[in-house]
C-alpha cells in the first residue's frame, strides 16, 4: 500500500508551489512534499522576472587551453550585462536558445505572474504593468523586479520624494548611512540620508530579527513604552536629516526600515508607524533572516491549502521505482519509462508515494536539487542527465562576473518540460521538471530566479495534470 496521489510535486519553493497549484486547478489530486521547511525564508521576498541580459560572449575570444594557464597574464574580460531592463518580456527573445524562458515562452511567464498575483492578492504590487520596478535592496543597490511586497512599495527608486533610511547599531549586517550613500551614488532621483537610531538597543545584543518583529507585532512595552511608539520616537528627531542639492532641508516624506516591521501583522505595524511619523513607511528587502520571505512562505502555503493540495515537509525523496509494465505503455506517447512511485524517507523508514505524474522542483546547486563533487554534477532524486563538460576546468571562467558555465548547469527538458536523457530522448514520460533544477538560465546574473520558477512551475503543473487525464 502506498500513499497515492495523481500528481506528486517534489520541492517546496516557488516552482513547486506554483506547479502544485496549477495542477490542482486543472482538477488533479495533488500532493507536495519537501525535504525541509521552505527556504523561501532565505529569499528577499521580491519576485524577479528578468532584470539583466548578461553577455554570453567575452569581450575578446578566450585563449586556448585550460583556463588556469596564464591566469594572471591574460584574464578574460566580459562586457557588462545589458540592463537594468525596463521590460522583461521583450528581452526574452534575446536570451540563449536553450534558456527555460525560450522553451516555455513569454506567455508562460506572463501566466505564471498572473497566477502569483492571484495567490498573494494585495500583499504584492507591480502587476499593473509589464515593466520592471526598481527596488532598493539591502546592499544599497537598486534591483529591477517584477513584483514587490506592499511593504516595499513606498521605497521604490523611481519615486522622487526624499527618503530617510533608518538603521540600528546592533544590526551589524546593515549600515543605514552607507546604504544611503550607495543609493545616492547609484543615481537615484531623490535625496536620501541614513540615520542610526536607538531602538534595538533595548533588546539584548544578540536578540534575533524575529524577536524585534514579534515585539512590534504584539506592540510590547519597551522600557514602559509600546514598541511601535518607541520606534517612532527614536526616528522622530531624524525626519529633517535629508539635505537637498541646494543645501536646503526638508522634512522627509518616506522612511525606510530594515525588513523586520512585524511578522503576523506587518500592515498594521507600518500603518501605525506612518501615522506617528507623518511619513510613508517602507521596508528594505534583506538577505536572511528575511521577514518578507517568511511572510511570502505563509501566503503561498495558505494558498496551497486553499487549492486543496496536500503537503508535507520533512520527507526527502530517496529513491524511485519505474512502472513494472515497462516504458511507454500507458502514456500512449511512447516516450521513455514511467515512474510508478517515489520512495520517501520518514525518519529512517522508507515509504512509497505513488503518483501518475511527478513534478521535480527540487532546486539547483544551492537548493540541493543538484549535487556536485569532484566527479561531476548529478540530479540526486531520479538521477536525471545533467549535461556538463567532462573537464572540470571548463566548468568556470576566471572572471567571477563572467559567463560561468556552472551557473547554467541543470536538467535539460523539452518544451513540455519532460527531462531529456543523454541522447536527447525523453527520460521519463510522466515526469516534469521546474525551477532551478532546470538548466540553461543564469538566474543570479539575470535576476530571473522567481520568474523562471513561476513560468516553468505553471507549465509543469499543467502538463502533469494533462498527463493524469490521459
Residues found near other proteins in the complex (CB under 8 A): 1-3, 33, 36-37, 39, 41-42, 203-204, 206-211, 213-214, 218, 264, 288-290, 294, 301, 305, 310-315, 319-321, 341, 343-344, 346-352, 367-368
Gyration radius (Cα) of the chain, Å: 24
Place of cell 511507454: 328
Q: How far is the CB of 181 from other proteins (least distance, A)?
A: 26
Q: How far is the CB of 307 from other proteins (least distance, A)?
A: 13
294-to-38, 90, 127, 378 alpha-carbon distances in Å:
9, 32, 21, 30
Q: 309 vs 397, which CB is nearer to other proteins? A: 309
Picking from 49, 54, 72, the residue whose alpha carbon sits closest to that of residue 146 is 49
Contact 11, 452 (CB under 8 A): no
Picking from 260, 267, 275, the residue whose alpha carbon sits closest to that of residue 229 is 275
Q: How far is the CB of 272 from other proteins (least distance, A)?
A: 19
Q: 89 vs 260, which CB is nearer to other proteins? A: 260
CA 199 to centroid of chain Cα atoms: 31
Element (H, E) at 16: helix 14-25
Q: How far is the CB of 440 from other proteins (least distance, A)?
A: 24
Size of the chain in residues: 470
CA 28 to centroid of chain Cα atoms: 26
Q: How far is the CB of 337 from other proteins (least distance, A)?
A: 13
Alpha-carbon torsion (5, 415, 83, 398), positive or negative: positive
The residues with which 125 forms a beta bridge, in sequence order, are 148
Whole-number Å distance between alpha carbons of 88 and 49: 6
Alpha helices in 139-240 (DSSP H): 176-185, 209-218, 227-235
Interhelix angle 266-277/227-235, rounded to 10 degrees, is 40
Q: How far is the CB of 301 from other proteins (least distance, A)?
A: 8
Whole-number Å distance between alpha carbons of 453 and 385: 20
Picking from 345, 356, 415, the residue whose alpha carbon sits closest to that of residue 380 is 345
Whole-number Å distance between alpha carbons of 111 and 91: 17
Q: How far is the CB of 227 from other proteins (least distance, A)?
A: 13
Q: 46 vs 213, which CB is nearer to other proteins? A: 213
Contact 274, 249 (CB under 8 A): no
Whole-number Å distance between alpha carbons of 183 and 181: 5
Q: Give me 47's grid cell.
A: 519576485
Q: 255 vs 443, which CB is nearer to other proteins? A: 443
Q: How far is the CB of 344 from other proteins (least distance, A)?
A: 8
Q: How far is the CB of 319 from other proteins (least distance, A)?
A: 4
Q: 127 vs 289, which CB is nearer to other proteins? A: 289
Q: How far is the CB of 360 from other proteins (least distance, A)?
A: 15
Q: 397 vs 436, which CB is nearer to other proteins? A: 436
Q: 84 vs 287, which CB is nearer to other proteins? A: 287
Q: 78 vs 320, which CB is nearer to other proteins? A: 320
Q: How far is the CB of 343 from other proteins (least distance, A)?
A: 5
Q: How far is the CB of 128 from other proteins (least distance, A)?
A: 31
Q: 3 vs 15, which CB is nearer to other proteins? A: 3
* Beta pairing, strands 192-197 & 280-284: unpaired
Q: 2 vs 184, which CB is nearer to other proteins? A: 2
* Beta pairing, strands 339-346 & 317-322: antiparallel
Contact 53, 446 (CB under 8 A): yes
Q: 380 vs 405, which CB is nearer to other proteins? A: 380
Picking from 442, 433, 366, 369, the residue whose alpha carbon sits closest to that of residue 408 is 442
Q: 35 vs 182, which CB is nearer to other proteins? A: 35
Contact 319, 343 (CB under 8 A): yes
SS3 451: helix
Amino acid at each position: 500500500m502506498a500513499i497515492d496521489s495523481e500528481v506528486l510535486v517534489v520541492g517546496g519553493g516557488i516552482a513547486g508551489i506554483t506547479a502544485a497549484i496549477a495542477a490542482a486547478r486543472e482538477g488533479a489530486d495533488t500532493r507536495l512534499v519537501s525535504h525541509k521547511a521552505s527556504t523561501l525564508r532565505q529569499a528577499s521576498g521580491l519576485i524577479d522576472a528578468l532584470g539583466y541580459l548578461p553577455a554570453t560572449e567575452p569581450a575578446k575570444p578566450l585563449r586556448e587551453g585550460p583556463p588556469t594557464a596564464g591566469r594572471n597574464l591574460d584574464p578574460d574580460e566580459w562586457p557588462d550585462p545589458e540592463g537594468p531592463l525596463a521590460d522583461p518580456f521583450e528581452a526574452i527573445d534575446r536570451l540563449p536558445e536553450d534558456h527555460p524562458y525560450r522553451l516555455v515562452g513569454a506567455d508562460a511567464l506572463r501566466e505564471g505572474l498572473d497566477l502569483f498575483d492571484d495567490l498573494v492578492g494585495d500583499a504584492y504590487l507591480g502587476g499593473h504593468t509589464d515593466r520592471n520596478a526598481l527596488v532598493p535592496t539591502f546592499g544599497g543597490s537598486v534591483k529591477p523586479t517584477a513584483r514587490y511586497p506592499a511593504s516595499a512599495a513606498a521605497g521604490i527608486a523611481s519615486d522622487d520624494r526624499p527618503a530617510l533610511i533608518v538603521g540600528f547599531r546592533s544590526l551589524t549586517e546593515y549600515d543605514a548611512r552607507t546604504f544611503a550613500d550607495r543609493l545616492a551614488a547609484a543615481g537615484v532621483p531623490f535625496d536620501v540620508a541614513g540615520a542610526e537610531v536607538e531602538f534595538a538597543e533595548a533588546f539584548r545584543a544578540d536578540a534575533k530579527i524575529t524577536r524585534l518583529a514579534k515585539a512590534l507585532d504584539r506592540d510590547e512595552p519597551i522600557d514602559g513604552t509600546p514598541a511601535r511608539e518607541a520606534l517612532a520616537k527614536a526616528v522622530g528627531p531624524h525626519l529633517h536629516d535629508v539635505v537637498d542639492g541646494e543645501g536646503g532641508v526638508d522634512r522627509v516624506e518616506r522612511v525606510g526600515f530594515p525588513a523586520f516591521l512585524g511578522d503576523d501583522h506587518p500592515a498594521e505595524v507600518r500603518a501605525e508607524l506612518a501615522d506617528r511619523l507623518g511619513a510613508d513607511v517602507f521596508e528594505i528587502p534583506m538577505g536572511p533572516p528575511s521577514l518578507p520571505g517568511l511572510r511570502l512562505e505563509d501566503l503561498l502555503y495558505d494558498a496551497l491549502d486553499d487549492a486543496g493540495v496536500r503537503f508535507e515537509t520533512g520527507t526527502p525523496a530517496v529513491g524511485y521505482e519505474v512502472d513494472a509494465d515497462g516504458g511507454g505503455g500507458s502514456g500512449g506517447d511512447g516516450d521513455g519509462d514511467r515512474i510508478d512511485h517515489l520512495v520517501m524517507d520518514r525518519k529512517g523508514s522508507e515509504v512509497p508515494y505513488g503518483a501518475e505524474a511527478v513534478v521535480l522542483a527540487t532546486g539547483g546547486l544551492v537548493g540541493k536539487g543538484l549535487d556536485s563533487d569532484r566527479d561531476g554534477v548529478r540530479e540526486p532524486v531520479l538521477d536525471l542527465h545533467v549535461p556538463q563538460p567532462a573537464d572540470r576546468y571548463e566548468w568556470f571562467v576566471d572572471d567571477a562576473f563572467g559567463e560561468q558555465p556552472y551557473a547554467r548547469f541543470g536538467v535539460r527538458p523539452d518544451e513540455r518540460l519532460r527531462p531529456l536523457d543523454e541522447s536527447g530522448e525523453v527520460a521519463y514520460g510522466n515526469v516534469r521538471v521546474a525551477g532551478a533544477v532546470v538548466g540553461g538560465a543564469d538566474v543570479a546574473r539575470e535576476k530571473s530566479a522567481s520568474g523562471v520558477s513561476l513560468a516553468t512551475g505553471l507549465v509543469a503543473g499543467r502538463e502533469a495534470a494533462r498527463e493524469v487525464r490521459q
